[in-house]
């Protein structure tokens, strides 16, 4: 039996340079590639690619979401 909770799912975070929108892809880069998905459209219409728009390093999604959804800011 595998304990999935101990494994963080692979995530790819893309950030649009135009509008700052964050796109979170669940899965590995090679999986997206094998699906033929190498570019993703942002809400602003900009085309994001894993190569060009990936946010490098560790990205704390929970922190990010909290920041986006903070009711009373700071
Ligand atoms: Zn955008």
Compute the distance from residue 67 Cα to the ligand 1 centre, in Å. Answer: 18
Give the pLDDT confidence of 2-24 residue by residue, as tens digits: 555 566 678 889 999 999 999 98
Categorize the per-residue pLDDT at 67 as very low, low, confident or very high, splitting at 50, 70 and 90.
Answer: low
CA of 18 to the centre of ligand 1 (A): 5
Count of structural domains within the chain = 1
Could you tell me the pTM of the whole model? 0.67
Largest CA distance in the chain: 44
Per-residue confidence (pLDDT) for residue 49, from 0 to 100: 95
Query: 60 C-alpha to center of ligand 1: Å?
Result: 20
Distance from residue 52's CA to the centre of ligand 1 (Å): 13
| pLDDT tops 90 at residue 72 | no
Nearest in space to 9 (alpha carbons), one of 51, 50, 62: 62
The answer to whether position 51 is within a domain reads yes
Condensed to tens digits (0 to 9), the pLDDT of residues 14-64 reads 999 999 999 989 888 899 999 998 899 999 999 999 999 998 766 666 666
Please give the structure tokens belonging to residue 41. 């459209």
The answer to whether position 74 is within a domain reads no
Q: How remote is the CA of residue 47 from the centroid of ligand 1, in Å?
A: 8
47 domain residue, yes or no = yes
């Amino acid at each position: 039996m595998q304990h999935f909770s101990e494994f963080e799912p692979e995530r790819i975070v893309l950030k649009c340079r135009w509008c700052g929108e964050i796109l979170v892809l669940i899965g590995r880069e090679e999986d997206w590639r094998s699906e033929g998905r190498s570019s993703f459209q942002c809400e602003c219409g900009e085309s994001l690619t894993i190569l060009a728009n990936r946010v490098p390093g560790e990205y704390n999604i929970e922190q990010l979401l909290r920041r986006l959804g903070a009711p009373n800011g700071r």
